Amino acid sequence: MSFPWAKHYEPKAPLMKWVDERLPLPRFVYNAVGAGYPVPRNLNYFWNFGVLAGVALMCQIVTGIVLAMHYAANGAIAFDSVEHIMRDVNFGWLIRYAHANGASMFLLVVYIHIGRGLYYGSYKAPREMIWLLGVVIFLLMMATAFMGYVLPWGQMSFWGAQVITGFFSAIPLVGEPIRVWLLGGYAPDDAALNRFFSLHYLLPFVTLGVIILHVWALHIPGSNNPTGVEVKGEQDTVPFHPYYTAKDGFGIGVFMLIYCAFIFFMPNALGHPDNYIPANPLSTPAHIVPEWYFLPFYAILKSFTFNFLWIDAKLWGVLAMFGSILLLFFLPWLDTSPVRSANYRPTYRIFLIVLLIDVLVLGYVGGAEPTARNVIIGQIASIYYFAHFLIILPIVAATERPRPLPNSITEAVLGKHGGGHASGAIAGSALPAE
């Protein structure tokens, strides 16, 4: 779209010509994902995860709509309706397991996608808007996943809803009224279940809308690439089709293999057995834990164990948990280094690897028993998380010495292949006479 050498849509088939003259949809598709969209030639497999996230969303929408044909959002029969799906509906077990494991796959893919953004500086100018929209998508996904998990109305569904809505009561003065308003009652019950079902159906389509903006914003500057050096000329790019359609096709195959391995052979591995017990408001489970994708944030929440200054521990925990996600919005302005890719920022790279380990440790602590030892580990890990984004990043950006960048993508690519005879044919960005 933004590159002058992008190919133009020239429909050969008369049908396509007829449609395109009346509704320029074929041309739009061609320019967005077809041969008319130039993409850097050096993208690695970490660039597959955006499309995989889109595929995961489609799977969730399709399986979700189908499940909604059989599910009943009423406290008395919700759990039974899910068992009806599992036992009586034709292929109901397949669709239910696909939806439950699809949520995990969707979040796994999105976490890797975010990790790519952090490592290669995809959030930096001129791509800040893509990043901001992405954080919005992430928040919508978390809300959708939380509400979806409540719907089967198992023990974890109910108690998870109890805990998460309990956060709001931490807000001074208005907290408790807000919590009661959200629930439509004093504890999760039919009112909450019904409205969660309604919103769980709605939010994925809102997410879809934001994704359209996210991809639109991407197509203005075009994709980032592993060197972080902007596209300089035609030889830096290849058309999206067939090069990246083929690569994405392969990526989708690998994704489906992993997804189906879970659905058919380990469908409950990522879930919690307690959710096969019907919700009982009078009996709290031994350990209330959210699904794995929320564990790091849960660990941060639980790390604030003492009142500090005028704010009590519970409020600190809630503020920190939301803060840990909201700080992502400010990342483009926290990390002011002009170098994008961590491949050329050795100091920053080390801290990023520590962050990855830190998030995995937080995840472990979030799901583990709250022994004194685990609480201490969680507190140290939470310290690092906030320090990384809010203190370390700005300092590193201002003081580090980055490695010298290649002049262009082409130079980096040829450098990888040992230069050889082709390097003489390339003079920086000069186009050969052809």
Partner 1 sequence: MASVDTPIAAGDGTGPHGAEGDYRRRDFLSIAAVAFGGIGVAGVLVPLVSQMAPSADVLADSTTELDLSAIAPGQAIKSTFRKQPLFVRNLTPEEIAEANKVPVSSLRDPETLAQRTKEGHSNWLVTLGVCTHLGCVPLGAGEGEVKGEYGGYFCPCHGSVYDTAARIRKGPAPKNLTVPPYKFSTPTTIVIG
Partner 2 sequence: MVRYIAGLVGVGFVAALLFALVGSISGLFNDPQPESAAATLYKHPKELELESNGFMGKIDVAAAQRGFQVYKEVCSNCHSLKHVTFRDLRKIGYTEAEVKKIAADWGTKQQVQDPKTGDRSERANVPADHFPAVYYPGQGNPPDLSLITKARHDGPAYVYSLLTGYAEQTPELLAKHPDAKTPDGLYYNPYFPNLNIAMPPPLAQDGQVTYADGTKSTVAQNAKDVAAFLVWTAEPELNERHGLGLAVLGFLLVATLLAYGAYQSIWRNVKH
What residues make contact with partner 1 under the rule CB under 8 A? 41, 62, 66, 69-70, 84, 87-92, 94-95, 234-235, 237-238, 242, 246, 249, 256, 410, 413-414, 422, 425-426, 431-432, 434
Q: Is 247 a catalytic residue?
A: yes
Size of interface with partner 2, in residues (CB under 8 A): 68
Active site residue 291: yes
Q: Can 248 be counted among the known catalytic residues?
A: yes
Q: Is 84 a catalytic residue?
A: no
Measured from the CB atom, the residue of 14 and 418 that comes closer to partner 2 is 418
Catalytic pick from 247, 274, 312, 429? 247
Q: Which of 20, 291, 358, 411 is catalytic?
A: 291
Active site residue 219: yes
Q: Which two tokens stand for residue 310?
A: 């005028």
34 to 73, contacts with partner 2 by CB under 8 A? 41-43
Annotate each residue in 382-411 with x if it binds partner 2 (CB under 8 A) or - if it does not, as one string: xx--xx-xxx--x-----------------
- Picked from partner 2, partner 1, none, the partner binding residue 163 (CB below 5 to 8 A depending on kind) is none
Residue 42 CB, nearest approach to partner 1 (Å):
10
- How many residues are given for the chain? 434
Q: Which is nearer to partner 1, 4 or 432 (CB)?
A: 432
Q: Which is nearer to partner 1, 347 or 429 (CB)?
A: 429
Task: Pick the closer one to partner 2 by CB: 15 or 372.
Answer: 372
**Choice among 219, 232, 241, 314 that is catalytic:** 219
Q: Show the site string, 338-377: x = touches partner 2 by CB under 8 A, - = not.
A: ---------------------------------xxx-xx-
CB-based contacts of 387, cutoff 8 Å, min separation 6: none
CB of 97 to partner 2, least distance (A): 8
Shortest distance in whole angstroms from residue 41 CB to partner 1? 7
Residue 103, token pair as written in the block: 């949520």
- Tell me if 284 contacts partner 2 by CB under 8 A: no
- In the list 257, 399, 404, 434, the residue contacting partner 2 (rule: CB under 8 A) is 257
Query: Minimum CB separation from partner 1 for residue 64, in Å?
Result: 12
Please tell me the distance from the alpha carbon of residue 63 to that of residue 68, in angstroms, as a whole number: 9
Q: Which residues contact 226 (CB under 8 A, 6 or more apart)?
A: 42, 43, 44, 120, 341, 343
Nearer to partner 1, 17 or 416 (CB): 416
Q: At what angle do helices 25-33 and 14-22 cross, to 10 degrees?
A: 100
Q: Which of residues 359 and 412 has its CB atom nearest to partner 1 in the complex?
A: 412
Rounded to the nearest 5 degrees, what angle is found at the Cα of 105, between the Cα atoms of 330 and 75? 95
Residues serving a catalytic function are 219, 223, 247-248, 291
Q: Which positions touch partner 2 (CB under 8 A)?
A: 41-43, 80, 83, 86-87, 93-94, 238, 242-243, 246-247, 249-250, 252-254, 256-257, 260-261, 263-265, 267-268, 273-274, 276-277, 286, 303-306, 308-309, 311, 313, 316, 320, 323, 327, 330, 333-334, 336, 371-373, 375-376, 379-380, 382-383, 386-387, 389-391, 394, 413-414, 417, 422
